[in-house]
């Protein structure tokens, strides 16, 4: 296993994700993306197209490429805001742009079908970075697994 960024914020969860089957990984990825997008206002037609493709489980390279363009645009906006020397308003703008970029990137990782442990771990890392909320991420994963395995 190569370096997994999720280990830097949730090492136990990172180990656990590599023990999950395809259906669990897919369910976790979808729930995590919904949670991340719910925290960041990412209003762009490319997100709508990607969510529709994900729901239908028919993701093309074109959809992935277009969403990746959005991720890059949002990252560039965040970097530009971070590098500017303005005051508190710019910091708020940076935090918002950073959150939007992370949510879009979580969605991008979820577009790899079938889901792999690596892409789901990256999706989860990006999602928790939206608000720096590892506990929220853990709650989402627990809910998904409880619904997948009601006896847990």
Q: What is the pLDDT of residues 26-69, one digit of tens each?
A: 999 999 999 999 999 899 999 999 999 999 999 999 999 999 99
CA distance 9 to 128: 9
Instruction: Give 116's contacts (C-beta < 8 A, 6+ positions apart).
Output: 25
* Per-residue pLDDT, 5: 94
For residues 3-24, give the mean pLDDT. Answer: 94
pLDDT band at 22 (very low <50, low <70, confident <90, very high): very high
CA distance 75 to 31: 23
Percent of the chain exceeding pLDDT 70 equals 92
Q: Which of 38, 20, 3 is nearest to 120 (CA)?
A: 20
Mean pLDDT of the chain: 92
């Amino acid at each position: 296993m190569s370096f997994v960024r999720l280990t830097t914020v949730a090492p136990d969860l990172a180990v656990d994700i590599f023990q999950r089957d395809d259906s669990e990984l897919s369910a976790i990825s979808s729930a995590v993306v919904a949670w991340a997008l719910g925290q960041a206002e990412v209003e762009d037609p490319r997100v709508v197209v990607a969510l529709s493709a994900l729901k239908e489980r028919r993701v093309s390279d074109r959809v992935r490429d277009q969403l990746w363009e959005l991720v890059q645009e949002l990252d560039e906006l965040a970097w530009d805001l971070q590098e500017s020397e303005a005051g508190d308003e710019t910091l708020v703008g940076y935090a918002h742009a950073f959150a939007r970029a992370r949510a879009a990137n979580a969605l991008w990782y979820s577009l790899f079908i079938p889901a792999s442990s690596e892409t789901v771990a990256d999706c989860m890392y990006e999602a928790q970075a939206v608000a720096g909320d590892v506990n929220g991420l853990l709650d989402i994963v627990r809910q998904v697994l409880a619904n997948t395995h009601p006896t847990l």
